[in-house]
A and B are shown apart, each in its own frame.
Chain A
């Protein structure tokens, strides 16, 4: 349980607000269709903040699947490194009290426990209304984000295996 996993895949978002839950939908998609080697840990982080620190501190390489508010076509996929995010002044935090991803990474770094690299794979949402399903626009992005992630993982010599009896829900 407390073993350290070199690679972490973290999906975040709110399942009750349609496309805002993309990261969570992605983790479900991944778990349903693929098996991953033991050194990869997968977490549905929901909308947790600092509570995610224990997961993040255990990994050397972190992939975050999230939605993003950039001025671009809904459904478009955007990848960021931690430096991109810092340079672009992307802030997910608004007060000294509640912390976002960058602050969690800073805190982990102060504790000498931050991942070496962080990659964010994000999509622009089409619908943020109340609802538990992805919009038709974003549903096909699950497979596309999986392709992006598969490529990145290949660079680490990690290859997700498709399950033979995957439930094609």
Chain B
């Protein structure tokens, strides 16, 4: 007998992401991903000055404020054909890499445990890394704290974690190690955040973007601007964060990849991948330290790059489809030409069932995120990507005692591995771009801004950014200097979007099919696969809700 489970909502905030899954003989055979809230925020921008858009778009999401500022100024610059000074590129690169480090670190540490043997935990941790936090004293203290939380009956952050679930197969020692590192991770998240605030004024909601560059004044003789003292402070913080990633985050992900090796066969889903190039190296935005492009059908041989911020291969192939979304019509259109007219029906399995639109590239659903970026870099022979991926795979192979290649990355645990690889690359690259910035300032170049001018008539522009959850693009139509149309195609729209007019499922939906579900009342496996994408559909509402909402509904079909 088939059963249907409804996980609603799957993210922090009420009514945002609902997952329906049909289970047959212990495996999911069909799934639906539904955004439960309307994102009509772009309409606020119509009629406004394009130079102001980034201030508003930063408020779309609570997790990724910075990324929408960056994509927004880039789309306006693209519309105007405006180059920006190299200092501004480097400063933006520092901003985006620091934001991503902050984000990746905090989103990994979600595991925990209660019954670990301290000695075995120390052994396990020391076999993975010589991190000073891997001591018996530290692990014992963490275990006692977690135990007192359990004794108090308030599980807090570990409630709803389905502890003791049959699919929860990590040994207790790995769990204790992860909890200990979870608590330490916040210190390193804070360091990345502090470095970001030194450069960008404040965080959340950075203050230093501008169409045409940045507003981070550089004056080595002024204590109120970016000067060497502040730059060295940033460098020191980034080096500490890099240490944590190298010695804690990467080894933990390697351990979990090896311990969950049975899961490396589940959760691939849509194996078309899309990532955009970032960490810009020139004023025209034609060369990059992080490659982007596409891979189709899981075949690394099909890789095709996006070569610049103006590449028509991106611009002319991205569309969104509303055939299964709660909007008026059933069109498929370029974001430039879209409208956003809500038309709610109820949840219809074979009709409309989501507020999220379905983005497509050459008619295909695409998976975005660190996995896409890492695979696309690997397929292009990008040296830094190859270095980390090959190292991580060798260490997983050695721990799991079975040889694994890049193919295993296309899985639920693979997304976590790719996120850690990306964090390691970004830590290296933020130090590189720090050097580039300081070298350039040393040459006497203090330029940070080129003034934009808005001609009469209509201009179209797109701007992208490889954000922590994947490819983000903003699309703008400017008419006589004001915004006529504005659309954001966000990473979680690519991944969490519904089916399209050809009934092709989106990446969340496809990734769930074939997953085992041991206990339908506690669909840990559904959460595991969806969470590997790092969902942020929770973008938007932040209200205290006095009614603890039911997480899971199960019904027999």
Residues of A in contact with B (beta carbons under 8 Å apart) = 1-2, 12-17, 20-21, 23, 44-51, 53-54, 57, 66-70, 85-86, 88-103, 106-107, 109-111, 120, 122, 125, 128, 130-132
What are 12 A-B contacts with C-beta separation under 8 Å?
A: A16-B540, A20-B540, A47-B540, A47-B541, A68-B543, A69-B544, A89-B546, A95-B160, A95-B551, A98-B11, A106-B154, A109-B156
A20 to B540, CA, bound (A): 9
- Complex contacts, B43 vs chain A, CB 8 Å: 130
- Complex contacts, A86 vs chain B, CB 8 Å: 154
Q: Which residue of B has the minimal Cβ distance to A107?
A: B157
- Given the interface pairs A47-B61, A107-B183, the reply to whether A97 lies near B546 with Cβ below 8 Å is no
A109 to B156, CA, bound (A): 10
Cβ-defined contact, B106 with A51, below 8 A: yes
Cβ-defined contact, A111 with B542, below 8 A: no
B274: Cβ under 8 A from any A Cβ:
no
Cβ-defined contact, A97 with B531, below 8 A: yes
- Complex contacts, A14 vs chain B, CB 8 Å: 59, 62, 540-542
Among B62, B205, B542, find the residue whose CB has the most chain A CB atoms closer than 10 A: B542
- Complex contacts, B551 vs chain A, CB 8 Å: 94-95
Query: Closest CB of chain A to B235's CB: distance in Å?
Result: 16
Which of B9, B102, B186, B546 contacts A107 (CB under 8 A)?
B186
Cβ-defined contact, A2 with B194, below 8 A: yes
- Given the interface pairs A107-B156, A130-B41, A132-B44, the reply to whether A51 lies near B102 with Cβ below 8 Å is yes
Query: Closest CB of chain A to B17's CB: distance in Å?
Result: 9
- Given the interface pairs A2-B194, A95-B12, A107-B183, the reply to whether A90 lies near B545 with Cβ below 8 Å is yes
- Complex contacts, B527 vs chain A, CB 8 Å: 95-97
A95 to B13, CA, bound (A): 9
A12 to B542, CA, bound (A): 7
- Given the interface pairs A92-B545, A94-B10, the reply to whether A17 lies near B540 with Cβ below 8 Å is yes
Cβ-defined contact, A70 with B546, below 8 A: yes
- Complex contacts, B548 vs chain A, CB 8 Å: 89-91
- Complex contacts, B44 vs chain A, CB 8 Å: 16, 130-132
A66 to B12, CA, bound (A): 16
- Given the interface pairs A46-B205, A110-B149, the reply to whether A66 lies near B186 with Cβ below 8 Å is no
Which of A53, A66, A88, A94 contacts B13 (CB under 8 A)?
A94
B residues 515-557 touching A (CB-CB < 8 Å)? 527, 531, 535, 538-549, 551
Query: Closest CB of chain B to A26's CB: distance in Å?
Result: 13
Among B9, B142, B538, find the residue whose CB has the most chain A CB atoms closer than 10 A: B538
Per-residue A-contact encoding for B33-49, CB less than 8 Å = 1, 0 else? 00000001101100000
**Size bin of chain B's contact surface:** 35 or more
Which of A57, A85, A100 contacts B12 (CB under 8 A)?
A100
Cβ-defined contact, B186 with A46, below 8 A: no
Which of B157, B161, B190, B549 contacts A91 (CB under 8 A)?
B549
Query: Closest CB of chain A to B234's CB: distance in Å?
Result: 12
Among A23, A48, A99, find the residue whose CB has the most chain B CB atoms closer than 10 A: A48
Query: Closest 5 CB pairs between A and B?
Result: A47-B62, A98-B12, A106-B156, A54-B190, A103-B157
A69 to B60, CA, bound (A): 21
- Complex contacts, A70 vs chain B, CB 8 Å: 546
B158: Cβ under 8 A from any A Cβ:
yes
- Complex contacts, A15 vs chain B, CB 8 Å: 59
Cβ-defined contact, B106 with A50, below 8 A: yes
Cβ-defined contact, A96 with B161, below 8 A: yes
- Given the interface pairs A48-B204, A110-B149, A130-B44, the reply to whether A97 lies near B63 with Cβ below 8 Å is no
Which of A45, A97, A107, A111 contacts B204 (CB under 8 A)?
A45
- Complex contacts, B549 vs chain A, CB 8 Å: 91, 94
Which of B10, B63, B106, B204 contacts A95 (CB under 8 A)?
B10
- Complex contacts, A120 vs chain B, CB 8 Å: 544
Q: Which residue of B has the minimal Cβ distance to A132?
A: B44
A57 to B56, CA, bound (A): 28
A93 to B306, CA, bound (A): 39
A44 to B201, CA, bound (A): 13
Cβ-defined contact, A48 with B62, below 8 A: yes
- Complex contacts, A125 vs chain B, CB 8 Å: 543
Among A66, A85, A98, A120, find the residue whose CB has the most chain B CB atoms closer than 10 A: A98
- Complex contacts, B63 vs chain A, CB 8 Å: 48-49, 51
Query: Closest CB of chain A to B333's CB: distance in Å?
Result: 21
- Complex contacts, A13 vs chain B, CB 8 Å: 542-543
Query: Closest CB of chain B to A3's CB: distance in Å?
Result: 12
Which of A20, A69, A111 contacts B186 (CB under 8 A)?
A111
B residues 142-199 touching A (CB-CB < 8 Å)? 142, 145-146, 149, 154, 156-162, 183, 186, 189-190, 193-194, 197-198
Cβ-defined contact, A94 with B157, below 8 A: no
A80 to B62, CA, bound (A): 23
A69 to B63, CA, bound (A): 22
- Complex contacts, A92 vs chain B, CB 8 Å: 12-13, 542-545
Query: Closest CB of chain B to A6's CB: distance in Å?
Result: 19
A30 to B46, CA, bound (A): 29
B residues 215-252 touching A (CB-CB < 8 Å)? none
B136: Cβ under 8 A from any A Cβ:
no
Cβ-defined contact, B12 with A90, below 8 A: no
A103 to B194, CA, bound (A): 22
Query: Closest CB of chain B to A126's CB: distance in Å?
Result: 13
A70 to B547, CA, bound (A): 9
A68 to B542, CA, bound (A): 9
Cβ-defined contact, A69 with B194, below 8 A: no
Which of B158, B183, B204, B538 contacts A96 (CB under 8 A)?
B158
- Given the interface pairs A68-B546, A98-B13, the reply to whether A111 lies near B110 with Cβ below 8 Å is no
Query: Closest CB of chain B to A31's CB: distance in Å?
Result: 12
- Complex contacts, B161 vs chain A, CB 8 Å: 96
A98 to B9, CA, bound (A): 11
Query: Closest CB of chain B to A115's CB: distance in Å?
Result: 15
Cβ-defined contact, A99 with B540, below 8 A: no
B466: Cβ under 8 A from any A Cβ:
no
- Complex contacts, A101 vs chain B, CB 8 Å: 544
- Complex contacts, B204 vs chain A, CB 8 Å: 44-46, 48, 51
